[in-house]
Amino acid sequence: MEKEQYQQLEQQVTPKPPYLKNIVKAFFVGGIICTIGQAVSLFYMTFFNFTEQTAGNPTVATMVFFAMILTGLGLYKKIGQFGGAGSAVPVTGFGNAVISAAIEHKSEGYVLGVGGNLFKLAGSVVLFGVVSAFFVALIKYILVTLGVVSW
């Protein structure tokens, strides 16, 4: 059987994924996660006198912590299997990626296993996030300096 014939056969027998169902589930799971994040933010603003601007950092840290706890308990995997990208895109997906790599390599020891692999999955997110932020700030600086926009 040639490669083209095999690909045609594969397309015929591979079931089509339920795109609409997956989109709806991802939307609701991501929405629930974001609603919980908003509740955490309001909690910090109400009980700890944070402003809307200053409540962001503790909210993100709390949501990442929640995701890490749920991952350690094996619950975040079930949320991810149900909600797909709805659980991976919010910041909780970052926490899940970090702790999953640490748990996976725990048997290799704390230094080489956990420490060496902690950011294995999430390292690229951090790297490209920092690089993207640099270029966006550089473009903003150039546009402001040239007088094209004012901030």
* Residue 59 · residue 41 · CB < 8 Å: yes
Tens-digit pLDDT string for the chain (151 aa): 688 888 888 888 998 889 999 999 999 999 999 999 999 999 999 999 999 999 999 999 999 999 999 999 999 999 999 999 999 888 898 888 888 878 877 788 878 777 777 777 777 778 888 999 999 999 999 999 998 887 7
Give the residue extent of every domain in the chain: 3-120, 123-151
Residues contacting 4, CB < 8 A, separation 6+: none
- Nearest partner of 26 among 90, 94, 115, judged by Cα: 90
Q: CA 92 to CA 64: how far, in whole Å?
A: 5
The structure's pTM equals: 0.73
* DSSP code at position 151: -
* Residue 80 · residue 87 · CB < 8 Å: yes
DSSP helix/strand/coil, 133: helix
Q: CA 37 to CA 63: how far, in whole Å?
A: 7
